[in-house]
Structure 1
Amino acid sequence: MTHTLFIAGDSTAALKGAAEKPMTGWGEYLQAHFGSSIEVDNRAINGRSTKTFLAEGRLAHIAHDMQAGDYMFIQFGHNDGKIDDPARYTNPDLDYRSNLIQFIECARGRGGVPVLLSSVSRRRFTVDGHLDPLAVGPYPEAMKQVAAQTQTPLLDIFEASQQLYNTLGEHESKKLFIHLPDKTHPNYPNGIIDDTHFSDVGARQIADLVANAIHQSNAPSLSRLRQHLKGDFL
């Protein structure tokens, strides 16, 4: 029997069009970690916070298609923190948490399994060469607290991605992101330095981190999903 794994999230996970390449969302490579019994349906959208995802009815669309036994992977935070944009901003101690609970209750109400993924980290090194523990503000910690409060499985992708960047180092970790000089790609004729969005290489590695986190999770509600993983894991 086939089950669907829905991704609800922002541009770090979203499918990128031809005009955005080589920028790539990690959700584009998650399917490669599963056999045909799990179908990844990537509903992540550029620029969305929990607030706008809900306001646009995108969670309702997932709920319409969700069947018992399906999974909902929930990863936000980057746009929730845009305090200068009231349409997207959410207070990490208030509406961000209540919005996440809406996602969780929606999935459970459909007989599905909600899974929280803490925000994948921006590549942000401090002047002394250390990774900024607040690279996505307080949102990863807020999500952890919601996971504990609601007894929802958590995949700590913020911590895993920070470990990856730290292992690679400040210079080599640039290869995971969109760093292009002038006139090297027609989509970015003026060049681009973007430490939030991933290159193809970076998206693949973040998808690897997500698959590893599933493999390492001891959450009972993920036991069946773990059985559908393929490949080698750390």
Structure 2
Amino acid sequence: MKENRSKLVLLLAVAFVLCSAFRADKPVVTIFMIGDSTMANKKLDGGNPERGWGMVLPGFFSEDIKIDNHAANGRSSKSFITEGRWAKVISKVKKGDYVFIQFGHNDEKADSTRHTEPGTTFDDNLRRYVNETRAKGGIPVLFNSIVRRNFVQPQDASITKDIRRTPGEKEQPKEGTVLFDTHGTYLDSPRNVAKELGVVFIDMNKITHDLVQELGPVESKKLFMFVAPNQIPAFPKGREDNTHLNTYGARTIAGLAVDAIGKEIPELAKYIRHYDYVVAQDGSGDFFTVQEAINAVPDFRKNIRSTILVRKGTYKEKIIIPESKINISLIGEDGAVLTNDDFANKKNVFGENMGTSGSSSCYIYAPDFYAENITFENSSGPVGQAVACFVSADRAFFKNCRFLGFQDTLYTYSKQSRQYYEDCYIEGTVDFIFGWSTAVFNRCHIHSKRDGYVTAPSTDKGKKYGYVFYDCKLTAEPEATKVYLSRPWRPYAQAVFIRCELGKHILPEGWNNWGKKENEKTAFYAEYESRGEGANPKARAAFSRQLKNLKGYGIKTVLAGDDGWNPVEDGNKLLDVKR
């Protein structure tokens, strides 16, 4: 007995180790960034729009890559070492990590705490960064400085200083159309050391020079910190800064940088991603709120998707995607939650009840909407009807999304809408999937939090399909023991469960007539090969059906409509639909 117990303990220990290995936290690779203010993270106080290009870099990589940005304002390759910043970074570097190195702006400064000389001390510092990174098994990458926006020819060969002006404080030199270099031979050191030591080199100066020269003296100001007076609390008198980037500039330049990185470092290329807009609460994106990003999408942008990344965070907003914002793809990082706490009996500004439709946290009206890895939540709690997501859009596709709430969680609103949910999680209590739309739920997890009804379709008379669930799993909290698969909100309600695993919380009769005997004549409720403790075909309500085959119930057939929409095979590919 004792021997068997020892074997059992050993087996459990092995199982724990294996499970821990499979649960290893991502990311597996870190990109450390060291450099100056043009790369650094910035404070957001007072609506400060200044960004280093490294600050926005996380929005260009998948979550398999972690960006750990240690670049700091005012630092040179020398002061970054003497202040102990490099020691902190190198102590964290592990095998396979990357170190992105970009200095130069402050090495040019005259003060002895920062100044280095290209060809000697500057090169020596870069060699140290490279060699010590390699000694830890890391991969160093050298960058030279981004361009200063300087359309005024220097009076001599000296290095131009960073200039930050208050608008109108003194007359400015007249700008021409040619962009002049201000870094001199400091640009050569990273290139030379990279060649000498066999290190990848990214010519950030050429990338940014070409961009700024192409834009010219007027348009290029949009990249840099040109702020009009009385516009931003952080700079009440305004600012004119030819060195430091604003949000748009940092995002633009980071996008060009990652393209170069992907070309030079194939191992990182597979992790690179480009989105039209990034939403992030830490300032690493284009916007702080999801609604701002949606509003920025051009109206009726045809034949192409507008992609929005929502970085990790809880965004408490009431989101509306109007009909004009077609073809939006909303992609979330793990932990991206869109939430609000309205409910039907909550008063609006006029003292009226919001009602069920008015309670939703998110409204989706535009066709060809796609969401992936997003949580849609109504956080008001068990207070009656409180919608998490109101979907009126046609050809709406949700992949790996979560819908959280209690009563009336997911409102499939429009009679003309087709909706597809793949590998989604939906929870609630009463009628928590309800509405008029034709909707397919494929491999979804449907969770009852209390006794109630999973669905309440209101399918129109004459419609061929209502709700169809394929290979879904229905579970419940322990206190939920009396749950119906559906009740008909309208007489011609339709719901079909195909090959679904039903927990013991599903009542033997399975289906409810909403207290109206006449509904039994018009509603279409059916199952095919249900399994699990809640599968009980012999005890089901007499007005429900057990399908003998799946003729007419292929997902492609259910969703095809007149245009042949097939999200299972085509994913979120756009159809050639005239609008």
Scaled to the shorter chain, the TM-score interval is over 0.9
Structure 1 residue 29 corresponds to structure 2 residue 56? yes
CA 1:224 to 1:216, structure 2 compared with 1: closer, same or farther past 3 Å?
closer
Cα distance in 1 for residues equivalent to 2:182 and 2:222:
18
Among 79, 85, 89, which residue is 1:58 paired with? 85
Structure 1 residue 129 corresponds to structure 2 residue 177? yes
Could you tell me which runs of 5 or more consecutive residues in structure 2 were left unpaired when the two chains were aligned: 1-26, 154-175, 276-579
Structure 1 residue 115 corresponds to structure 2 residue 141? yes
Cα distance in 2 for residues equivalent to 1:181 and 1:229:
35
Could you tell me which runs of 5 or more consecutive residues in structure 1 were left unpaired when the two chains were aligned: none
Structure 1 residue 160 corresponds to structure 2 residue 207? yes
Question: 1:56-205 maps to which residues of 2 (within 5 A)?
Answer: 56-83=83-110, 85-127=111-153, 128-132=176-180, 134-205=181-252
**1:12-71, CA deviations, whole angstroms, 9 ceiling, x for partnerless residues?**
011100237111111111111111111000110111000000001111111111110000
2:255–2:274 CA contact under 8 A, matched in 1: no
Aligned-residue Cα RMSD (Å) equals 1.4
Structure 1 residue 223 corresponds to structure 2 residue 248? no
Q: Secondary structure at the match of 2:51?
A: coil
Cα distance in 2 for residues equivalent to 1:117 and 1:65:
21
1:116–1:153 CA contact under 8 A, matched in 2: yes
Give the AA of the match of 1:129.
T
2:53–2:253 CA contact under 8 A, matched in 1: yes
Cα distance in 1 for residues equivalent to 2:260 and 2:145:
14
Give the AA of the match of 2:213.
N
Q: 1:183, CA displacement in angstroms?
A: 1.9
Cα distance in 2 for residues equivalent to 1:191 and 1:231:
32
Higher strand fraction: Structure 1 or Structure 2? 2
Q: 1:11, CA displacement in angstroms?
A: 0.5
Q: Secondary structure at the match of 2:71?
A: coil
Residue number in structure 1 paired with 2:327: none
1:129–1:170 CA contact under 8 A, matched in 2: yes
Cα distance in 2 for residues equivalent to 1:81 and 1:106:
24
**1:137-176, CA deviations, whole angstroms, 9 ceiling, x for partnerless residues?**
3211121111111111001110000001011111000010
Q: Secondary structure at the match of 1:61?
A: helix
Sequence identity (%): 38
Cα distance in 1 for residues equivalent to 2:147 and 2:251:
15
Give the AA of the match of 2:255.
D
The count of aligned residue pairs is 226
Which entry has the higher C-alpha Rg, 1 or 2? 2
Q: 1:103, CA displacement in angstroms?
A: 0.5
Greater CA deviation, 181-190 or 142-151? 181-190
Residue number in structure 1 paired with 2:492: none
**1:77-119, CA deviations, whole angstroms, 9 ceiling, x for partnerless residues?**
0000012x11111111211000000110111011000000111
Q: Secondary structure at the match of 1:214?
A: helix
Structure 1 residue 209 corresponds to structure 2 residue 256? yes
Q: Secondary structure at the match of 2:244?
A: strand
Q: Secondary structure at the match of 1:159?
A: helix
Structure with bigger RCO (C-alpha 8 Å, 6+ apart): 1
1:2–1:36 CA contact under 8 A, matched in 2: no
Q: Secondary structure at the match of 2:123?
A: helix
Question: Where in structure 1 do 4 or more consecutive aligned residues deviate above 4 Å?
Answer: none
Cα distance in 1 for residues equivalent to 2:211 and 2:90:
33
1:176–1:198 CA contact under 8 A, matched in 2: yes
Cα distance in 2 for residues equivalent to 1:208 and 1:88:
30
Q: 1:212, CA displacement in angstroms?
A: 0.9
2:202–2:260 CA contact under 8 A, matched in 1: yes
Q: Secondary structure at the match of 1:126?
A: coil
Give the AA of the match of 2:179.
L
Higher helix fraction: Structure 1 or Structure 2? 1
Cα distance in 2 for residues equivalent to 1:159 and 1:184:
32
Cα distance in 1 for residues equivalent to 2:234 and 2:65:
33
2:228–2:239 CA contact under 8 A, matched in 1: yes
Cα distance in 2 for residues equivalent to 1:96 and 1:173:
30
